[in-house]
A and B are shown apart, each in its own frame.
Chain A
Amino acid sequence: MPLDPRRVPGPEESQPPLLYAAPGQAAAADEAEAEAGALRPLLARAGLLSQAEGSAYVELAGGTKVLCAVRGPREAAEGRGRLLCDFRRAPFCARGARPRPGPAAAARERELGLALQEALAPAVRLARYPRARLELTALLLQDGGAGLAAALCAAALALADAGVEMFDLVVGCGLCRAPGPAAAWRLQPSAAQERAAAARLTVALLPGLGQVAGLLGSGQGGPPESWAQAVRLGVEGCQRLYPLLRRSLLRAAERRAGLPRGLPPPERDPPDRPPPPEGPARPPPPDRP
């Protein structure tokens, strides 16, 4: 490209300053050491976009924000009903460098879109929509850890909000495991924990049926027993999140139907804190090194 003398050419390549920070500096402020089985408060709201048949917004305390919209059923040429999922990350969603648009980023987004579709496929009754196409777009606005899990919850809520026939809601839960031989799995890690983790796992569950709809994990998780324990923990976490999602759907239906006179509409749904797990006392959290 010929040099334009009137414009100041910026650098051809740019890097984020955090790349040159010493490892100790980049650490975030001390987070409250939550117990391994605790779930972060979740805000879920269905029915916010006017232009989409169904929509949902899920926010996890700690910064993960996902917005999901469903369009359809639209007429399609093929004989079978299809669910097309698109997972997009906003360019500013992660803490690191702005990702350069390129084949690597697109491939990763397609992988997550495929994971979303494979997790939602067992729940949606596609047989009831022959020759139709359901388009689902999930947009990750801010990544504070467990992004795919939040996107799964938002996608299921959006499909339910659109009135698509489903067998059950899909609930997603993220887990990660810190490096070290005896580290335990934690539910819904924060972004810093996810970056430092040795292994990550996302579990999608159909809580009413008790079936696992999706599973995506990688890393040095150890022997199958450790992964099995992680899946059990994820399933339990999903069961605890299920009532919150159902409540948000009921609220959306009430809002749509119009509330009875005399009751002021709630200005903002307060974030629901998931119920603590019942059962025998859990072991105390491990000491910090």
Chain B
Amino acid sequence: EDLRVDGRGCEDYRCIEVETDVVSNTSGSARVKLGHTDILVGVKAEMGTPKLENPNEGYLEFFVDCSANATPEFEGRGGEELGTEIVNTLYRIFSTENTIDVKSLCINPREHCWILYVDVLLLECGGNLFDAISIAVKAALFNTRIPKVRVLEDEEGSKEIELSDDPYDCIRLNVDNVPCIITLSKIGCRHVVDATLQEEACSLASLLLAVTNRGFLTCMKKMGNGSLDPESIFEMMETGKRVGKTLHTSLQKILDKEESLGTTRQKVGFLG
């Protein structure tokens, strides 16, 4: 009948709050609140040497910290397994070509490039972590401002790094192709989007899809201990594409609105 415990339909998300630029010491940051799930992502851009296999590109490194505030299971080393799973999924998504233009992160081929360290903090865990994390990472990368840098070489061969004087002169990343993760959980014979903790406990298996804004899938993963019928998988993929496209349009609208307000924006912060 398309009715869940909290009154939502099968394809409805809980109320999502996105705010960027919450932490001032980072190159970019974002905070996403999805029901009871709270994620904070900070991006720091640092200069380093490019990898040997890709000398003309920069790269991204992901780290996830499941803090003990999120749920009591994360105390000590309990959250490590979940953290590794999230990191691997993020690497899998961003290793696809054209997700982020890594060539723009290169300063001098083979010598200098930008490395973006993306740190994800789980502040509160209320179900549907992957979706919230992907939205937060996309918003944080949209918000990232990388200063423009030139590396000059003297006659003796010593390198000098020149940072531009204007603090607003920076490179921005194009996040149009960054996908969002949609997790569809199979409960009984229907599937639901954005499961709460109780719904996750009832579901036998879920399918994790990474959907771009044009409706293309870049990553597909089955999670959970149950098995899925091939027909359900096809239905879930169609639902994921539909839901993903609407999610992307609303997220882009919010990010553009925040961008256009600029410094006049009222910052809600952590107490709002």
- Complex Cα gap A119–B216 (Å): 25
Q: Tell me how far the C-beta of B189 lies from the nearest C-beta in chain A, rounded to whole angstroms.
A: 14
CA–CA, A212 and B98, complex, Å: 30
- Asked whether A47 is an interface residue with its Cβ less than 8 Å from the other chain, the reply is no
Q: Is B225's beta carbon under 8 Å from chain A?
A: yes
Instruction: Say whether A118 contacts B224, CB under 8 Å.
Output: yes
Closest chain A residue to B89 by CB distance?
A111
Closest Cβ–Cβ distance, residue A262 to chain B (whole Å) = 44
For the complex, what is the distance from the CA of A198 to the CA of B97, rounded to whole Å?
A: 8
Contacts of A224 in B (CB 8 A): 215, 217, 234, 237-238, 240-241
How far in angstroms is the closest Cβ of chain A from B218?
6
Chain A residues within an 8 Å CB radius of B216: 220-223
Alpha-carbon gap, A214 to B84, bound state (A): 19
A219 lies within 8 A of B96 (CB): yes
B78-94 CB contacts (< 8 Å) to partner A: 84-85, 87-88, 91-93
Q: Which of B59-97 contact A (CB under 8 A)?
A: 84-85, 87-88, 91-93, 95-97
Q: Determine whether the beta carbon of B230 is less than 8 Å from that of A232.
A: yes
A217 interfacial by beta-carbon distance below 8 Å: yes
A15 within 8 A of B: yes
Is A114 touching B219 in the complex (CB atoms < 8 A)? no
Chain B interface secondary structure, helix, strand, loop or mixed? Answer: mixed
Interface of A is mostly: mixed
Q: Is the CB of A215 within 8 A of B238?
A: no
Are the CB atoms of B227 and A118 closer together than 8 Å?
no
Binding site for A on B (CB under 8 A): 52-53, 84-85, 87-88, 91-93, 95-98, 205, 207, 210, 215-230, 233-234, 237-238, 240-241
Going nearest first, the 10 A-B pairs with the smallest beta carbon separation are A122-B227, A211-B227, A224-B237, A215-B222, A111-B88, A121-B225, A217-B220, A218-B219, A213-B227, A218-B92
Could you list which residues of chain A lie within 8 angstroms of chain B, going by C-beta atoms?
Answer: 15, 19, 107-108, 110-111, 114-115, 118-119, 121-123, 198, 201, 206, 209-224, 227-228, 231-232, 235
Question: Would you list 24 pairs from A and B whose C-beta atoms are within 8 A, ordered by A residue?
Answer: A111-B88, A115-B221, A118-B223, A118-B224, A118-B225, A122-B205, A122-B225, A206-B227, A212-B229, A212-B230, A213-B227, A215-B207, A215-B233, A218-B220, A220-B96, A220-B216, A221-B216, A223-B241, A224-B215, A224-B217, A227-B217, A228-B233, A228-B237, A231-B230
